[in-house]
Structures are given as structure tokens and as C-alpha cells.
């Protein structure tokens, strides 16, 4: 079976994840163990590799009992409460919050103060329970509505001022649609349209991948999308591939690839999420090339 395989050069870790993993590896090169508050990246294959080096993933209950240790804060960021516990427990922090997320946290905190002067409401477009979203609502002591789907908009009072921010890894198109729906609802109740503000807080590196990936998926007959099942960004980008190429398949590793997906002469595009390591894309491409040669 002859296959032409191409790796998408825009896929793979975003800057924030690259920086976090580099810092974790640097520490583990000189120390036996590192406690990470949550998974550094939503990719089980990469996490397994880091665990072999000594990475230990802990949750909030485990952090509360940790004393005089090193705590790693991943790119997703954390709410102020995590820093408070770390200080009380004398934990030394390696803070790898992505600079884009850090800036967003500061903007949320600053604009919330302005909004509350006018009895306004803060909205976060993002996934319930996502680490980055938890970090954002933590900046305002939980006083925000999380908008994950259209029905969540029913919770909002449109006669009051509304500010909305987006989780940095969300789909820009979906965010625009949500913002349009909010405008329509404000108009329908005669609310203060001039007091509605939608902040552009989707990471530029992430948003630029959407149009590129669409073109990449169109030009190949088969797409192999490599991503961890827990990756929020992965789900969005995989759906984008499927929307333009019905022969798109999502896998976590080469072991999940089915030979029946391919026909001789297929052009196969290998791509992935911002949480997919480049070495894993290369491993999948090598497997496909071996299929072709075999």
C-alpha cells in the first residue's frame, strides 16, 4: 500500500506548554521528584514519559498535606487560593503559568472591579472544570458565569452590564457566535448595549491554527489527528478537521491506527493539538510510512 505522509508543521505544543515541560525536565535532571499540581499537559503518552523522569501529579487534597516541598504550577494557571495554601505549607513554587494566561488573569481581575461598580456580570466562555477556567474564576472569588453552551446564557440578566472573556484555547468562531447571541439578548430586553464588552482573549498562536488546519485537512485524503482524550483544544481542532474532511480519525498513539482506514495512493496528513508533542506526531508518521513500505 502506497501512502504519502505529511506532518503539519503548525501542530504540536504551544509556547506555554513547551516552556512548562522544559522547566519540569530541567528540574528533574537534577532532582529525583517533582510535584505537579495537575497534569502538565493533557496527553497521557507525554505524561507517562515525564513520570519515568520523576514527575508526580498531585491534586488539591494532596497539596494541602504537602510540606516543605517543591510545587510545580503548570501553564493553565491557578487561582489565588492555591498560592495561599502553598505559602502556608512552605512549598517552593516553580510557576510555569503561560504568560498569555497570566495576562488574562490580570485583565479579568482589573475589569471585574470596574464592572462591579455598575452592578455588572462577568462571563467566562470556557469549559466547566477546566484548569484555566478555575484559575480565572478564582481571580474574582467565583463571582462569574461559565458559558460552555448556549443554554448557559439563560443564567444571565441582560438588563445589567455584561463583560465576557474567553478561555485562551477556545474556538474563535464559537466565541464570536456566543458574543452575537449576547448582543441579541441585550437588544431583546432593551438592556445597556453600550455596557457590553467582549474581550479578545483567545491565544493568537491557538487561533491562527484554525484556518491553517482547515486548509491542511482539505488538501489530504485522510487525516490522522493525534491528541489526548482529555484535551479540550484537541476536541475542538479534531471537530474542525472532520468538518472539512470526513476521513479524519482521532488517535492517542500509533497503536490505535487501523490499516483499513487507508487506500493505496492516499495522501495522509498527520496533525495534533497544542498538547500533542512533536515526537509523537513523528512516531505516528513513521508508523504510517512503514505501512506504506510494508
Mean of pLDDT values over 68-96: 96
Range from 111-115, 143-147, 273-277 carrying the lowest mean pLDDT: 273-277
Q: Kindly tell me if the per-residue pLDDT of 20 is higher than 70.
A: yes
The pLDDT mean for the chain works out to 93
CA 21 to CA 14: how far, in whole Å? 11
* Pairwise pLDDT comparison (142 vs 206), residue with the higher score: 142
* Pairwise pLDDT comparison (115 vs 41), residue with the higher score: 115
Q: Kindly tell me if the per-residue pLDDT of 293 is higher than 80.
A: no
- Residue 16's contacts (CB-CB under 8 Å, 6 or more residues apart) are 75, 96, 98, 99, 100, 101, 203
CA 20 to CA 69: how far, in whole Å? 18
Q: Are 57 and 93 in contact (CB under 8 A)?
A: no
What is the second-level CATH architecture of the domain 4-12+207-293? 3-Layer(aba) Sandwich (3.40)
Annotated catalytic residue 88: no
Q: What percentage of the chain reaches a pLDDT higher than 70? A: 99
Q: Kindly tell me if the per-residue pLDDT of 206 is higher than 90.
A: no
CA 279 to CA 294: how far, in whole Å? 22
Question: Strands, E, within 27-151: which ranges?
Answer: 34-37, 55-58, 70-73, 92-95, 121-125, 145-147
Instruction: Supply φ then ψ for residue 20, to 5 degrees.
Output: -65, -45
Q: What percentage of the chain reaches a pLDDT higher than 90? A: 83
Catalytic residue, from 6, 132, 174, 256: name it: 132
Mean of pLDDT values over 20-26: 95
- Residue 112's contacts (CB-CB under 8 Å, 6 or more residues apart) are 122, 139, 140, 143, 144, 163
Confidence band for 294, pLDDT divided at 50, 70 and 90: low
Domain 15-98 bears CATH identifier 3.40.50.11270? yes
Mean of pLDDT values over 273-285: 92
Mean of pLDDT values over 183-195: 93
Confidence band for 65, pLDDT divided at 50, 70 and 90: very high
DSSP 8-state code for residue 144: S
Residue-wise pLDDT for 101-116, tens only, equals: 999 999 999 999 999 9
Q: Provide CATH 3.40.50.11270 ranges for the chain.
A: 15-98
Q: Are 108 and 122 in contact (CB under 8 A)?
A: yes
Q: Provide CATH 3.40.1010.20 ranges for the chain.
A: 4-12+207-293, 100-167+169-202
Q: Kindly tell me if the per-residue pLDDT of 204 is higher than 80.
A: yes
Q: Kindly tell me if the per-residue pLDDT of 201 is higher than 80.
A: yes
Per CATH, the number for 100-167+169-202 is 3.40.1010.20
pTM of the model: 0.84
Residue whose grid cell is 492555591: 82
CA 277 to CA 227: how far, in whole Å? 9
Amino acid at each position: 500500500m502506497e501512502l504519502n505522509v505529511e506532518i503539519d508543521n503548525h501542530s504540536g505544543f504551544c509556547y506555554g506548554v513547551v516552556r512548562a515541560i522544559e522547566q519540569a525536565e530541567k528540574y528533574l535532571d537534577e532532582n529525583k521528584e517533582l510535584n505537579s499540581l495537575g497534569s502538565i499537559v493533557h496527553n497521557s503518552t507525554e505524561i507517562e514519559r515525564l513520570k519515568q523522569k520523576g514527575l508526580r501529579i498531585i491534586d488539591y487534597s494532596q497539596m494541602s498535606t504537602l510540606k516543605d516541598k517543591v510545587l510545580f504550577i503548570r501553564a493553565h494557571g491557578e487561582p489565588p487560593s492555591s498560592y495561599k495554601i502553598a505559602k502556608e505549607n512552605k512549598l517552593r513554587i516553580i510557576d510555569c503559568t503561560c504568560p498569555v494566561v497570566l495576562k488574562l488573569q490580570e485583565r479579568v481581575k482589573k475589569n471585574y472591579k470596574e464592572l462591579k461598580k455598575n452592578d455588572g456580570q462577568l462571563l467566562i466562555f470556557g469549559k466547566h472544570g477546566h484548569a484555566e477556567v478555575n484559575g480565572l474564576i478564582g481571580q474574582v472569588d467565583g463571582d462569574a458565569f461559565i458559558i460552555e453552551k448556549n443554554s448557559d446564557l439563560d443564567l444571565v440578566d441582560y438588563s445589567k452590564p455584561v463583560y465576557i472573556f474567553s478561555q485562551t484555547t477556545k474556538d474563535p468562531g464559537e466565541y464570536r457566535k456566543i458574543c452575537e447571541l449576547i448582543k441579541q439578548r441585550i437588544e431583546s430586553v432593551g438592556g445597556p448595549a453600550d455596557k457590553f464588552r467582549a474581550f479578545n482573549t483567545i491565544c493568537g498562536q491557538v487561533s491562527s491554527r484554525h484556518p491553517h488546519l482547515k486548509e491542511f485537512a482539505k488538501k489530504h485524503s485522510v487525516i490522522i489527528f493525534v491528541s489526548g482524550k482529555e484535551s479540550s483544544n484537541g476536541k475542538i481542532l479534531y471537530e474542525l478537521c472532520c468538518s472539512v474532511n470526513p476521513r479524519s480519525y482521532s488517535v492517542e498513539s500509533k497503536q490505535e491506527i487501523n490499516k483499513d482506514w487507508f487506500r493505496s495512493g492516499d495522501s495522509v496528513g498527520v496533525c495534533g493539538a497544542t498538547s500533542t508533542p512533536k515526537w509523537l506526531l513523528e512516531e505516528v508518521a513513521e508508523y504510517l510510512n512503514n505501512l506504506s513500505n510494508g
